[in-house]
Structure formats: structure tokens, C-alpha cells
Amino acid sequence: MITEVLVLDVLRTVKYPGFSRDIVSFGLIKGITLTGSDVAIQFSLAARDASIPRQIHEAATAALAAVPGIGKVQLDFDIKEPEGPAGTVGRASITGVKRIIAVASGKGGVGKSTVATNLAIALARSGAKVGLCDCDLYGPSIGLMLGTTEHPMATEANEIIPIEAHGLKLMSMAFLLDDGSPVIVRGPLATRYVQQFLRQTLWGELDYLILDLPPGTGDIQLSIVQTVAVDGAVIVTTPQEVALIDARKAVSMFAKVNVRVLGLVENMSYFLCPSDGIRYDIFGTGGGEKEAIRLKVPLLAQLPIDIPTRTGGDEGQPVALTDSPIAMTFADLAKQVQTLIT
């Protein structure tokens, strides 16, 4: 019997041209209509290259035609011009910075800073000039993850000279504090600090500035997205529903301020036991993919619980600096982000 689940499983074998991700994970499927054994599928994608929808059409048609019992296959494509940067009414750009990407989550503990750090490293390894701004004043972690405890200097004009590590330009509250010192400031002052990090830091010429936002949807996040011309947001979640609930809030916040959500990253998707190779779905399975389909955005990556990722973050040597399989996943994530905001 031909079912929608069967059709989706078949389409998951079709890769988006030039990527290792499949077209379902990319969020291209907008509807499936079944009439007996006949199948009609509605696709929606943004592409300037006419060969991309043609390749998808050919590959999807071939995959579906190989299914026993399937009848007529009809594929309809809604092809849109790729969006440019988000609307910038009331927002200012940062001098010298071409693209600003926010990495956000609805709740803490999902690995947002790990994703932001390794995404920045992967972008830099592709040849781009990249900066990383740690906007989490109360729990800054970028200094530890990138292995630096330097204190930034300032110019005579009171401009901050960013710290440099692993080819990135960095700014974080961690660079201004001694170890263990808490940040005890109220909302308005915290917002002012973050604005100074963004606008008074001498970022120079950057292709990408990654903003590691605090968890949640509070004053700092809203201030940034309402005053800075953010080109797109990457939402980090884990597979379980308690994380997805908060991820939806983050997506809703960006929608309300007209910032494009580039896609979801599902972190801690599974654990692959190194001794026997058995996969354990500790936090459940399929949550990120279902949510991406519901929100009509791509699922950009599914990252495992990985010991080298953890040790790399603790030791100031992010895993994206290596040539490991997880580093290749971050490289693929960076490539997708670059494509989506080009």
C-alpha cells in the first residue's frame, strides 16, 4: 500500500544537489497527495540555478518509479528567488561585516555555544574571514572553548581590539572577567554591554560575524535582533519535546522581528557506542526532523553526542579543527549556511 510515510522514506534517499543532506531534511516537501496508487508531491525551494530543481525532479522521479505498486507520479515545483538579507528597517549594519548570523536556542544546555563555535571554525576553514561574538553575558564560554584567556586592549578612541584565536576574531565577557567572577547586572546594562561588544569592537573586514545568543527570548536577544541587521538565524535544539517547545519560541521571536530562520540543528541526536557500534537515541528520535517539516525550514544537521566534541570544547581545540567525521558534518553545516544566505 502506498502511504505518505512510504513516500517520505523514498524521498529521504534523494540528496540535495551538492550536499549530503536529503531533500526532506532540507524542508523542500510542502505537500503529498495520494489518489489510490498515484502520487502528487508539492515542492518549494529557493534557487537561482535552474539545474537544481531539474536534478531533484529527475532523482525523485527515478526513486519513486522504483517502488513496487506505485502509479502515476506528479511533481510540482514552486521555485522562488532566494531571499536577500532580512529587512533592515530600524536596524543598522556593523561596519566591515558582510553577513551576520545568529545562533540561538529556546533553552540552555542544548549545545548552542558548541554549535556556534564549530560553525565559526568551519566557515573560517572554508577560507572566509569570521568573527564570533559571545552575547551570553551571564554564562560566557567562548574563551574556554577557543582556549584563550587574553584580555582585550582598547584604542585611544575607546574601541575594543578583539582577541584572535584559531583564525577567528573574538569578543566575550569572559575576556573581561577573572575566572569564577559572576556578571551581576540588570537587563538594561546587560543590553548596553552587548551593544558595545557589537558596535565598538574593531571587527575589521569580515565575511561572517556569528552571534552566540543567550538561551531564551529575553531582553538581550530582542535588543540584538531589533537593532542589528541579522541576515539569518540558526536554531539549536535536541530531539526531545521539552527542547522543541522552547525552540518554537525562538523561531517565533525571529519571525516577529522579520529575521529569517535558516534552519534547525538537532544536537545530541544519538550516541554511537564506540565499543560495539550500537546507536542509542538517548533523547528520542526524529524530533528535529518533524519540527523542521512543521516549521517549513531545513534540518541543517543532526549532531551526535560525541566525546571528541566535548573534550575539544573543554581543551580549547574545537572539533571542527580536525578532519574527523563530526568535523565534516560541521563543514557541511557551514556550506549550507553559506548557500542559504548568499
Residues 32, 63 within the same domain: yes
More confident residue, 127 or 95: 127
Question: How large is the average pLDDT for residues 226-235?
Answer: 89
Full domain range(s) for residue 153: 97-341
Q: How confident is the model at residue 109 (pLDDT cuts 50, 70, 90)?
A: confident
Q: Is the pLDDT of residue 90 over 60?
A: no
Q: Of 22, 49, 80, at which residue does a domain stop?
A: 80
Taking residues 249-273, what's their average pLDDT?
Answer: 87
Which candidate, 132, 275, 264, 283, places its Cα nearest to that of 208? 132
Cβ–Cβ < 8 Å for 212, 110 = no
Q: What pLDDT shows up at residue 228?
A: 86
Residue with the larger pLDDT of the pair 49 and 220? 220
Site of grid cell 584580555: 151
Asked if the model's pLDDT at residue 174 lies above 80, the reply is yes
pLDDT classification of 66: cutoffs 50, 70, 90: very high
> Is 70 exceeded by the pLDDT of residue 212?
yes
Q: Which residue among 49, 80, 111 closes a domain?
A: 80
Most confident of the ranges 34-48, 199-213, 251-265, 280-294: 199-213
Average pLDDT over residues 139-160: 90
- In this structure, the answer to whether residues 225 and 307 fall within a common structural domain is yes
How far, rounded to the nearest angstrom, does the alpha carbon of residue 126 sit from its chain's CA centroid?
16
Answer with the residue of higher pLDDT: 73 or 241. Answer: 73
Rounded CA separation 297/300 (Å): 9
Assess whether 285 and 162 both reside in one domain: yes
Are residues 165 and 17 both part of a single domain?
no
Residues 337, 207, single domain; the answer is yes
Instruction: Say what the pLDDT of residue 311 is.
Output: 95
Q: Looking at residues 133-153, what average pLDDT do you find?
A: 90
The verdict on residue 196 lying in a domain is yes
Does residue 189 sit in the same domain as residue 279? yes
Q: In this structure, what C-alpha cell is assigned to residue 54?
A: 531539474
Q: Which residues contact 214 (CB under 8 A, 6 or more apart)?
A: 135, 136, 137, 138, 139, 220, 221
User: Which residue's C-alpha cell is 531564551?
Assistant: 216
Whether the predicted pLDDT of 247 surpasses 80: yes
Residue 87 lies in a domain: no
Asked, for residue 56, whether it belongs to a domain, the answer is: yes
Same domain, 182 and 267: yes
**pLDDT for res 180:** 63
Confidence tier at 195 by pLDDT (50, 70, 90): confident
**36 and 104 belong to one structural domain:** no
Residue 216 belongs to domain with CATH number: 3.40.50.300
Identify whether the C-beta of residue 24 lies closer than 8 Å to the C-beta of residue 9: no
More confident site: 263 or 89? 263
User: Does residue 86 lie within any of the structural domains?
Assistant: no
Q: What's the confidence (pLDDT) of residue 85? A: 45
The average pLDDT across 171-175 equals 89
Lowest mean pLDDT among 138-142, 220-224, 333-337: 220-224
Q: Which of 79-88, 166-175, 288-297 has the lowest mean pLDDT?
A: 79-88
Please give the mean pLDDT across all residues of the chain: 87
Residue 184, pLDDT > 70, answer no
Measured in residues, the chain has a length of 342
Q: Which helix (H) or strand (E) element contains residue 310?
A: helix 307-315
Please report, for the domain that includes residue 16, its CATH number: 3.30.300.130
Same structural domain for residues 287 and 179? yes
In a domain, 275, yes or no: yes
The model's confidence at residue 243, banded by pLDDT at 50, 70 and 90, is confident
Taking 70 as the threshold, does the pLDDT of residue 242 lie above it?
A: yes
**Is residue 92 one of the residues assigned to a domain?**
no
Which grid cell is 191?
543590553
Residues 182, 291 within the same domain: yes
Mean per-residue pLDDT, 180-191? 68
Written as nine digits, the cell of 293 is 517539516
| CB contact set of 275 (below 8 Å; sequence gap of 6+) | none
Residue scoring higher pLDDT (255 or 212):
212
pLDDT score of 102: 95
Sign for the pseudo-dihedral over CA of 246, 250, 256, 262? negative
Amino acid identity of 162? Answer: P
Query: Does residue 29 sit within a domain?
Result: yes
pLDDT tens readout for residues 271-330: 988 888 899 999 888 888 888 888 888 999 999 999 999 999 999 999 999 999 999 999
76 pLDDT more than 60: yes
Inside any domain, residue 106 = yes
Domain count for the chain, please give it.
2
Indicate the residue among 45, 80, 115 that finishes a domain.
Answer: 80
Note the pLDDT of residue 116.
Answer: 97
The Cα–Cα gap between 212 and 135 comes to 6
Looking at the structure, do residues 72 and 119 belong to the same domain, yes or no? no
Q: What pLDDT score was predicted for residue 293?
A: 87
Q: Are 129 and 204 found together in one domain?
A: yes
Q: What pLDDT, on the 0 to 100 scale, is given for residue 82? A: 52
